[in-house]
Amino acid sequence: MDPKVMQKLSYGLFVLTAKDGDKDNGCIINTAIQVTSEPNRITIAVNKGNFTHDMVKKTGVFNVSILSEAAKFDTFKHFGFQSGRDVDKAVGITYKRSANDVIYLDSAEVNAYISAKVIQSIDLGTHTLFIADVTDGEVLNPEASATYAYYFAHIKPAPAAKQESKKGWICTICGYIYEGEELPADFICPVCKHPASDFKKL
């Protein structure tokens, strides 16, 4: 099978946020999908390596901020390329709290948010699939929603020339460079948690 076939699937891009005690956190996901309308229900699949995953699993409550085409690469770096275990991701962003007390991004980069409550979770190995009832939500502005393809074409910067001169493998998602001849097949990007199939040889 041509592995590129999977890249033809269309995805949105979202900031998943949760709150555990006084701790707010968020991460980037591309897996929010409405699965039924009566009742209004969504699923999200979240990598277990994300701190936000553990918070959603524990509290069962989350928000999905829908990133628009106005989203900046810095926002992807802020939520995608560092861990809430190390930094407070609520610092340096513009946010509000919805009725469920969870933060959502309140800026031109997000066109809407959805609040949801987990009703079931399914262990998928690397990820957990959360099935959740939509409890609230609001449209914030008329910007078009960003797709994964739009992110690659217009938001993610091209790799810098100095990276091209290095030897090894580059993560096509975040730009992390693995220095070595052979990339292990089970390698996971330490920065953005994407698998070896998202790397290309320099």
Query: Which spans of this chain sit near Fe ion (rule: CB under 5 A)?
Result: 171, 173-174, 176, 189, 191-192, 194
Nearer to Fe ion, 84 or 175 (CB): 175
Nearer to Fe ion, 132 or 192 (CB): 192
Minimum distance of Fe ion from residue 202's CB (angstroms): 14
User: What phi, psi does 141 have (nearest 5°)?
Assistant: -165, 170
Nearer to Fe ion, 66 or 173 (CB): 173
Task: Match 């809430």 to its residue by tokens.
Answer: 84
Nearer to Fe ion, 58 or 152 (CB): 152
Minimum distance of Fe ion from residue 189's CB (angstroms): 3
Token readout for 57 is 């699993």
Minimum distance of Fe ion from residue 188's CB (angstroms): 9
Minimum distance of Fe ion from residue 137's CB (angstroms): 30
